[in-house]
């Protein structure tokens, strides 16, 4: 179950790549959309693990501000 979106993963050029959701269990779910009806979901133990995974692909995390 997804709790709320915390970050977005973008490429060096600023192109959107994935959404990061904080789960109720304390883990993080990364959803990479592949089209209108498909996507790849990966679960990570910490936000640091998500950041290392994204950095390895030369992507970066951007914090989402829901109240802006």
Give the burial class of 50: count Cβ atoms within 10 A of its Cβ; 0-12 exposed, 13-18 middle, 19 or more buried.
buried
Task: Identify the domain containing residue 11 by its residue range.
Answer: 2-63
Lowest mean pLDDT: which of 14-18, 55-59, 64-68?
A: 64-68
Summarised one tens digit per residue, pLDDT across range 5-52 is: 888 999 888 889 999 999 988 899 999 988 888 999 999 999 999 999
Q: Residue 16 domain-assigned?
A: yes
Q: Residue 48 domain-assigned?
A: yes
Domain count, the chain: 1
Q: Residue 68 domain-assigned?
A: no
CA separation for the pair 65, 3 (Å, rounded): 15
Q: Residue 39 domain-assigned?
A: yes
Predicted TM-score (pTM) above 0.85: no
Residue 16 vs residues 1, 25, 45, 64: alpha-carbon distances, Å: 23, 26, 23, 13
Closest residue by Cα to residue 9 from 36, 30, 23, 38: 30
Q: Residue 27 domain-assigned?
A: yes
Residue 20 sits at the vertex; the CA angle it makes with 18 and 21, to the nearest 5 degrees, is: 140
């Amino acid at each position: 179950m997804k709790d709320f979106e915390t970050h977005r993963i973008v490429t060096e050029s600023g192109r959107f790549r994935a959404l990061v959701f904080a789960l109720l269990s304390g883990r993080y779910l990364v959803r990479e959309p592949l089209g209108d009806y498909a996507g790849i979901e990966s679960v990570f133990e910490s936000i640091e693990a998500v950041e290392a995974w994204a950095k390895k692909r030369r992507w970066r995390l951007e914090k989402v501000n829901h109240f802006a």
